[in-house]
Amino acid sequence: MELLGLTIFILLECASYISAQSDLKTSPPAIVKQGVQRQPYRSEDSVELPCKAEGVPPPKYTWYRDDEVLEIGNDLRMTMITGEGTLIISKPEAKDQGFYQCNATNSFGTSLTIKTLLQLANLDRFPSRKPLETHTPEQGSSLKLSCVPPNSFPKARIFWSVVKSGQPFQPVREDARVSKDFDGNLWFGYVDKNDARDGAHYVCMVENPYLKTLVRGEDAVIRPSGTTISSSAVQVLWTSVTNALGLRGENLRLKCIFSGKPTPNVKWERRNGKMPTHRFEGANTELIIPNLQFEDTGYYECIGRNQETLTDGVRKSFSVTVQAKPFWIEEPQDVSAAEEENAVFRCKAGGDPSPFIHWFINGVRITDPNLPKNERRIQRGVHEIRFVNLTAADAQVIQCNASNAHGWVFADVYLNVMSEPPSFIISPKNDKISAGLASYNMTCRIRGAPKPLVWWVKDDTMISGGDKYIIHLMGTLEIMRVQSTDAGKYSCNARNKFGEESSSAELVVREPTRILMSPKSMTVTAGSQAKFICTATTDPDEMGNLKIDWKKDGDFIDYVAAQRVFKNRRDNAVTISGCIPLDTGRYTCVATNGLNTVEATANLLVLAKPEPPTDVSVTRCQGRSAEIKWSPGSDNNSPILGYTVDYNTTFAPSVWYKHDKVIEKSHTETTVQVSPGATFTFRVRARNVIGISEPSAHSKGRCITQPAAPDNNPDNVRTIDKSPTKLWIQWTPMPEIDHNANDFSYSIIYQRLDDGSAPRPPHKVTRFQNRLDYWLDLDVGVTYKPYKLLVQAVNSNGFGPPPTPVIGFSGEGEPNIAPTGFKLDESYAISATEARFTWDVVDPKAATINGWMTGYAIEYARIINGQTARRRRLKVPLAGRKPEDEYAKWKGSQASRGKRQISTMSAIVSNLPPYSHVTAYVRVTNKRYAGPPSNSITINTPEGTPGAIVNLVVVAVGSNHIDLKWDRPDEPNGIIVGYNVYFQEVIKTKDGRNTLGGKQPRLPQITLEPNTNPASYKSRLAGLQDRTKYRIYIHARTRIGEGIENFIEATTRMPEKPGRPDFRITDVGLTTMNVTWLPDQRRPGGGFFVKYRKEGRNYWEHTSVQSNQKWINITNLEPGVVYELQVVSYNGEKHQTGSGTKVAEMLGASAVTSSVASAGWFIGLLVALILLVAALVIVCYVKRKRAGQYPVHEKEVLRGSYSPAESSEPNTNKRFVEYSRGADPALNRSRGSMDSVTKPVESDSDSMDEYGETDPGQYGAKKHDDRGHEGTDPASPAAFSTIV
C-alpha cells in the first residue's frame, strides 16, 4: 500500500514538472497531432491529413509532397484548418498521390510530422470472363478451383460462393475437406456427389473493404462421376511458404491442405520446443501465431492422418524466421533547461536487420553542410547528441529517424532554453491530518531557470532532512511517521540567481480514528438474520465528523438497492435480514473522521440447502432398472451429504414419487429399479445439513419398460357392513405403476364357510373412475355369515401371484335383545356430574345380536319442563374382546380368552348435567347397530359449580373505574348466589410482550339477595390507576363454589377535570338526610363526596369519597338547622368540580328553643312525636317487606308502571335493594332550590352510562339497546340489577 502511494506521488511530481514546463514563456514547436504512414482515399471523398503543433510563439505550417514545398494557395482544392496545420483536399485526384509531410516552425525551431503515403484506393476487375468451366472429377479424388484475384488497394478479401439463378450468394463453408489457400484457390480434399450443389456455380469473389466494392470471377461447375468413394491415404495438396519470414509483433499464418478419404485430421507440432501462444482456423488446417516474437523462430510441422494413414501420418515442415521493423529502445524526449546547463538527447532503436540512425536539426540532416555550426553541440557516436553550457540561442527541434528494410520509426523533440526567477506552481496549503500516517506530503511545487534551490523551515527552525524529512524534486516536503509533534507552521523557500520566494502554511495533527469493537465473523443459515456491530472513536475535536459505514466485498453497500440490508443509525450496526447464500462475503466496517480511515473486516457465511443438480440424464434403460447421471449444483457453503431420485410416469405426470434408494455424496450416478409397462422421467435432489434442494429439471431422455404380468395383488381386502343381507367386498386399488400392462382388472372369488358351499365363479371388476377404494356388492340374502375372499390382479400379460385368503362377513342387522335390570348403583355416591349404573349381562354369542357384539351404550338426557332434551351416549365396550377374535374360528386360530363370566355389568357416567332431572337406559350394540332400550330410570343430580357468564362487556371507562355488564350463565348448574370479580394489571415488557400482575379480588364480592336471580347484572370496579390496562375476571357462584371464569380487558383513561354534577336532597329527618347526585353525562368523574355546612358559616365538612354508589346518607346533623350543601365530582386531588349550592332545613327545633324542654307541655309533645316516629318506622318496615323499595318503587309509581297486584306476588321484585326510605312523602321538606314534590332519585333501570366515559358496549361483541340490555324487556323489573 505504501509502495502504491509512493508511485502515485512520483507520477504526480512528474506530471507537475511537465505541467510546469508546458507553462513556459517560450517554447520550440512540438507536434501533437499527425497522420498515419499510409492513407487510402476515394476520389469522391475529401481527404484530411492531420497536423497540429504546440509552441510559444505559435508555429507556422508548411506542407511538402514528395520532398517539394506544396503551394497550397495555388490550388483551390487545398485548405488548412485555422489554428493548426491540418490539410484538407477536396475532390482529390490521382495526381494528388504521394508522400506528404508537415513542418511546424517558430523562432525557436522546426518540428516535423512523419511522412504519410497518400494513395488512391482501387479494385481492378477480373480479366474478361471465360466460358463456364466444368469439372468432372471421380468421387473420392481431389480438386482445385483456381482464382487469380485482380489488383487491389487496400488489400482485398477473397472468398468463394455458390450461385444459383435468381438466388443470393451462399458462401462456401470451409472445413478440413474444403479449404481456400492464401492465393485464393479453392481445394477439395476429396469430391463427393454433394459437391455438385444441384448444378450451382462456384464463383471466386473479391471484396475491397475500404471501397465496399465486390468483383466476381469466373464460374465453375462440379459434376462428380462414379458411384462409390473408396478410402484413400493422406497426401499434401498445398502448403504456404515453407521458409516463412515473420515480423515481430505481427501475426504469422502457416497452412497445410491435405487430401484423403476419410478427411484427414490435422495436427501441428514444433520441433524441439514448446508451441507458442496460437490458435487454429479451418479445422486445424491453418496455424496462427499472434504477436510474433524472436523466440518463436524455429521449425513447425503439420501432420495429416486418417484411418488409411495411422502410423506417423503425412508431415510437412516449415522454417520460421522472425525479423523486426525498427522499434524504440530509448526514444528521444523533450528537454527544457536553463542557460548554462547541459542537455542530452539519446536515440536508440532495435530491429532486424539493425536499423540506421539519422539525426536532424529543425528538419535538416545533421550531416548537411548547410546546417549552421555549433561548437557546444557534441555528437557522441550514433545514438547521442549533447549540448553544453546552453544559451538562449540553442533553442531548436531535433529529429531522429531509425529505419531498416521493413520500416522506420521517427521522433520529433525540442530543446528549450529558459531563464526566470523562482515562482510557485502550487503553494503550501493549511491542512489537518491524522497522527499515525506512514508519511504525509506537504505540497510545494516551484519552477524557475536555473532550477531553484529549495529549503523548508518549521516554526523558525530549518529542516535538515535525515530519515524524518524528504524534500522532493519540485519542492514537496514529505514528513515520515507522522506524530502529533509534527503540527506547526511550515515555510517553503526557493532561490536562484534571478530571485527568491517563500510561502507558509499551518499543519494541524489530530489523534487518529480507532476501531474499539470490530465485527465478528459468523455463520448463519438461510432465512435467518445476521448482525455486525462496530464501534469507533477519534480525536475529541473530530468526534462530530466521525462516520461509520460498511462495505461488502470491497464495495460500499447501497442500502436502497440492497433492500434486506439495514444500517442502524444509533449504533451503526448493519443487519442482513432473511439471509441468502449470495449474502456470503466480507463485510468491512469503515470508520473515518475525514482525516484518516480505519477498517475492520468480518466474514459472513450463509449456509443454505443446495442448489438443484443439473444435466440429469438417463444413460441406460434395460429390464427393470435404469441408470441416472447428473452434475452437482452449488452446495451453498454446506457440503452435500447425498442425493435422492424422484420419478414420475405418464400415468400421472404431475405426481412425483421419491425413490427409496439413498445415494452417497460422492456419487453422481445411480441405478434405480423401475416397473414394467411404464414410461419413467426422473429428477434429482441434493441434501446437506440445512435441507433438501429444490428438484432438478426433468431428465434428458426417458426410460420406457416392457409390459409384464402383475407382480402383486391389492392390499387391505375386507368386507364392509353396508346392509344386513349384502356381502360388500372392498380393497385398496393398485396404483397404475403396479398394473405392469394394459387391460388391468381384478378377479374376485368368494365362498361361504359355515354351510360347506363351494366357491362361487370369479367376478371381474375393472377400474372405477375417481375412487379411492374398489368394491364388489353381492346380495347373498343372509345376515352376518362368514366368507372366504380371494382378490387377484389381472392384465393382458397374465395373472398376478396367488392371492392370500381373507375372511369377511355379510352385513350385520339390528340386535333383537334388550338388557334387563338397569338401575342406579346406590352404593356409589352420586355427584353433580357422575353416577354409576348396573344391569344384567347379555350373552355376546346370542343369535339375536345379529352381528359381532361390541358392548353396550348408556343413553341419558335431561328432563326440562316435562320434555326430554337431546340424549347423550356412553359406550361401554366388552372387556377382553379383541377385533381379531371375530375371525379366529374361521382362520383356524385361537380366540382371546375373556375375563371370568359375570352376571352383572356396571359403568360410571361422568358427564351428567348438574342440578337436573335425568332419564337413562342401556342398549346392546354390535359393530353397526344398537338394540332396543332397557327399562328407563330417572335420577336427580345435586347442585354444582356454574358455567361461565355470557355477554360480558365494558359499558363505561373512567380514569379510575370501569363499569361492567354481563348476563347470567347459560348453565347455572344450581342457584346463583353471587359473583366473584378479580382483576390484574396488564404490563407491557421491554420486548413488547404482555405479562400480568398479581390477581386481586374486588372487595366486597357480589352477593345476591335471597330468592333473586336477575338475567343481567351491572357492577363498577373502582379504585384503579389511570391510564392502565386491566384484565377483569368474573365467576358466577353457587353455594358449591365459583364456576368457570370469563374475562375482558379494558384500559382506564387519562385523568381530566370532571363535569359539573347536579344533586337532590331527600329523606330529610331530625339528624340525617339523603343526598343523591346526578353526574355529568360526558365527564362524570370517578368518585363523589358531599360538602356541607350550617348556613352562614365559613367551614365546610366533607363526607368520604363514594366510588361505587350515587348517594350517601349524612348523619349526626342538628335538628331544625338549615344546611348548605354541594356535591363535588372527584378525579383525584387535582381534578375536582363542585356543583351549585343547595340548602335543606332539618326537622325539629333548633338548640335556641331548647329552654322549652323543661315545660310539661313540651315533654308531652315530645312523647307524642316519639310515638309518631315509632309508628312511621313500623310503616316503613312493612312497606319494605312488601317490596316498596325506594327509589325504583317510587319511579315506577310516577311512571304508572307499578301495580299493587304485581307487588303482592312473591318474588316478583328481584332487583337489588340499594337503600330504602319511609313511604310518607310528607317527611320530605326543602326550601330554597329544593323541589316541592319529591321525585325518584335513582332506579335499577337507570343507565350506568351516567358514569361512563366511553361508548357503552364498545368492549362487547353484541348489539345492545339504548339501556344496555340484550334479549330482555327494558321495562321488566327482572331485566337487570345494578350491583354496587
What pLDDT was estimated at residue 1194? 39
Over residues 427-439, the pLDDT tens digits come to: 999 999 999 989 9
Pairing state of beta strands 384-387 and 343-346?
antiparallel
What pLDDT was estimated at residue 947? 93
What pLDDT was estimated at residue 25? 67
Overall pTM > 0.85 = no
On the question of pLDDT at 1233 being above 70, the answer is: no
Higher-confidence residue of 560 and 12: namely: 560
What pLDDT was estimated at residue 1103? 92
Contact 300, 315 (CB under 8 A): no
Residues 6+ apart with CB under 8 A from 1007: 977, 978
What pLDDT was estimated at residue 662? 83
- From 1259, 1188, 832, select the one nearest 1041 (Cα to Cα): 832
Set of cell numbers at residue 477: 516536503
What pLDDT was estimated at residue 609? 94
- What is the rounded average pLDDT of the residues 912-931? 94
What pLDDT was estimated at residue 950? 95
Question: Residue 1227, Cβ neighbours under 10 Å: how many?
Answer: 17
Higher-confidence residue of 104 and 1054: namely: 104
3-class DSSP state for residue 1264? coil
Pairing state of beta strands 937-940 and 917-926?
antiparallel
- What is the rounded average pLDDT of the residues 920-930? 94
What pLDDT was estimated at residue 1261? 37
On the question of pLDDT at 1266 being above 60, the answer is: no
Residues 6+ apart with CB under 8 A from 1029: 985, 986, 1049, 1050, 1051
Distance of alpha carbon 654 from its chain centroid, rounded? 29
Average pLDDT, the chain: 85
Q: Which residues pair with 52 in a beta bridge?
A: 33
Contact 1259, 1050 (CB under 8 A): yes
Round to whole Å and give the CA distance between 1090 and 1081: 19
Over residues 308-345, the pLDDT tens digits come to: 776 678 999 999 999 999 999 999 999 988 888 899 99
- The alpha carbon dihedral of 87, 89, 93, 95 has a sign of negative
The pLDDT > 90 percentage for the chain reads 60
Over residues 730-748, the pLDDT tens digits come to: 999 988 889 999 989 999 9
Residues 6+ apart with CB under 8 A from 598: 512, 513, 514, 515, 536, 590, 591, 592
What pLDDT was estimated at residue 1092? 95
3-class DSSP state for residue 1091? strand
Residues 6+ apart with CB under 8 A from 728: 719, 720, 721, 722, 775, 776, 777, 778, 811
Round to whole Å and give the CA distance between 282 and 890: 86
Round to whole Å and give the CA distance between 640 and 637: 9
What pLDDT was estimated at residue 1081? 78
Maximum average pLDDT range among 657-661, 851-855, 1030-1034, 1271-1275: 1030-1034
- What is the rounded average pLDDT of the residues 201-219? 92
Q: In whole angstroms, how far apart are CA 327 and each of 361, 941, 1249? A: 21, 120, 107
What pLDDT was estimated at residue 892? 63
Over residues 701-732, the pLDDT tens digits come to: 999 999 999 999 999 999 988 888 899 999 99
What DSSP character marks residue 18? Answer: H
Q: How confident is the model at residue 22 (pLDDT cuts 50, 70, 90)?
A: very low
On the question of pLDDT at 539 being above 50, the answer is: yes
On the question of pLDDT at 1179 being above 90, the answer is: no
On the question of pLDDT at 17 being above 90, the answer is: no
On the question of pLDDT at 1084 being above 90, the answer is: no
Range from 44-48, 1022-1026, 1121-1125 carrying the lowest mean pLDDT: 1022-1026
What pLDDT was estimated at residue 336? 86
- What is the rounded average pLDDT of the residues 881-890? 74
- What is the rounded average pLDDT of the residues 861-870? 90
Range from 859-868, 879-888, 889-898 carrying the lowest mean pLDDT: 889-898
Over residues 140-197, the pLDDT tens digits come to: 999 999 999 999 999 999 999 999 887 888 899 988 899 999 999 999 999 999 999 9
On the question of pLDDT at 126 being above 50, the answer is: yes
